[in-house]
Chain A
Amino acid sequence: MKQQKNRLLYLFFIAGWLALSHQTLAQDTQIRGFANVDINIKNDQLNFGFGEWDLFITSDLNDKFSFLGETTFKYSPSAATEFGVTVERLIVNFNYKGNHSILVGKHHTPVTFWNDTYHHGRVFFPTVGKPLLFGAGIVPIHTTGIAFQGLTLGKLKWTYNLMIGNGIGSHEISDNDKFKSVTASTYIQPVNNLKVGASYYNDVISKGAEYKGGTAAEKFNQQLFTGSVSYFGNKFEVLAEGTFVNNNGDSTGVARSYATYVYTGVRLNENWIPYVRVDYLTYESGEAYFGNEDTFSFVGGIRYEITYLIVVKMEYQQFDREVSGHSKLVSAQIAIGF
């Protein structure tokens, strides 16, 4: 009797597993990945290393709902295994009508073209690394929250994004304070390959909140205004962005900062693209939030696109910092998608 019951249970599990696996197969799920190997010469020393290993999953859950997940694995000296796993994006998308959707989860904050377009896929980057405004913590890269999005609407292909999230200083599962960040971004594509956009970001950062670059010594009200122009045509590539930051500290008052970069490349043929990029960061004296220094950087390099999934870049970068002075970096990168 007991044996028969076990058999029935076994059959039940097999039937259940078959039903579930059928559902999984019916569901359209795709797994893609990106990785890069870097070589650089820093302080007269040659270094080999690898960057992020990015795993990217998309899945259509039904006619209206879809899922997007992006996870990176990268070297992290503080982790027990010396490798850290980070959930970069986890988005449930509800496409309720036409090109309009509601997205819930962890997003890349759509404040700049670069942050909204390239994410962690180095194979898409026009240069080896990100512009300096990312490393300097000017732009809040991630937001966990809800977004209302409309894509390529009307003749101007207007796109909008309104996002409300936990904001700076929050953790993956909860907010550190009652204040919510608000991001509003928009762009149009008046002609093929040209995008012109602007965005606004507002957040209140509580005293003690941890953020990239430090801990808030006081309460700040932060506003970011960004303008972007991008053109990636058959011959020329141009990407220019500027972010104006208004940090209003409770005791230190208002301090303004500005970060910009301009990238331009010339497509010699389908494979070779020489390029330059100029970055400039400037902070008002007494700026208490970023605690950084004025920096100018020049990047000159060449990109060789073997295919859309294999891209080799070689570049020279020079930094001129107000306090730390002059430095240079020669680097190469093989970025792949799979």
Chain B
Amino acid sequence: MISMRHKIICFGLSLLTGVLISSSVMAQNNLTIIGSLESVPVELDMSQLQAVLKGEQMRWQDGTKVKIALMKTNTPIGTVTSEKIYDMSGNELNKYFLALVFQGKVKAPAFFNSESELEAYVSQTPGAIGVVQSTSNDQINVVVIDGKKQI
């Protein structure tokens, strides 16, 4: 009887741990798009977002220059950003932008080590758009993508 109770407790704990781990991994894979209060629209669809973050749109509707802010590709968020938004590895993303800069077609994104630095840059730079895991900064807008606050 006791061993049965132990088995049930162990099973319950394993299940709970599994749920917690998977939800934590899922949370780590979630991304939030942030934009400066000026110029950056508060809503975009995924294809528009990809075009903007790939440097294919140079200016916003009001004429302000698009400035891209990303976490460095060797950070966990940078890796998720590369895969989820660009469909590339971190290495491929770096090569992609180096090639475009070399062709004179885009300006390189600003790359950051920490989300707080990235958020500070976006809040202080008109036209800046960036990718973080989550934010509570009221000096920036969260850009809704396909109706969702996180992608």
Contacts and interface: CB of A to CB of B under 8 A. Distances in A.
A97 B102 CA distance: 21
Contacts of B105: 151
Interface in A296-314: 305, 307-309
Contact of B103 (A63, A95, A116): A116
A329 B129 CA distance: 49
Q: How large is the interface on B (under 10, 10 to 19, 20 to 34, 35 or more residues)?
A: 20 to 34
Contacts of A337: 98
B35 to A, nearest CB: 18
A184 B132 CA distance: 41
A93 B98 CA distance: 18
A209 to B, nearest CB: 28
B84 interface: no
B95 A308 contact: yes
A168 B65 CA distance: 36
A121 B102 contact: yes
B94 interface: yes
Given A152-B51, A270-B89, A308 B98 contact: yes
Contacts of B58: 95, 98-99, 151
A60 to B, nearest CB: 7
A308 B94 contact: yes
B102 A124 contact: yes
Contacts of A56: 102
A91 interface: yes
B144 to A, nearest CB: 22
Contacts of B99: 117, 121, 124
Nearest to B54: A152
Nearest to B64: A63
A30 interface: yes
B98 A58 contact: no
A66 interface: yes
A321 interface: no
A60 B89 CA distance: 28
23 contacts: A30-B101, A58-B101, A58-B107, A91-B104, A93-B104, A95-B59, A98-B58, A99-B59, A103-B104, A116-B103, A124-B95, A152-B51, A152-B57, A157-B56, A192-B87, A270-B91, A270-B92, A305-B91, A308-B91, A308-B95, A309-B94, A309-B98, A337-B98
Given A30-B108, A98-B59, 14 more contacts: A60-B107, A89-B104, A95-B58, A95-B59, A99-B57, A119-B102, A121-B102, A124-B99, A152-B56, A152-B57, A270-B89, A305-B91, A308-B91, A308-B98
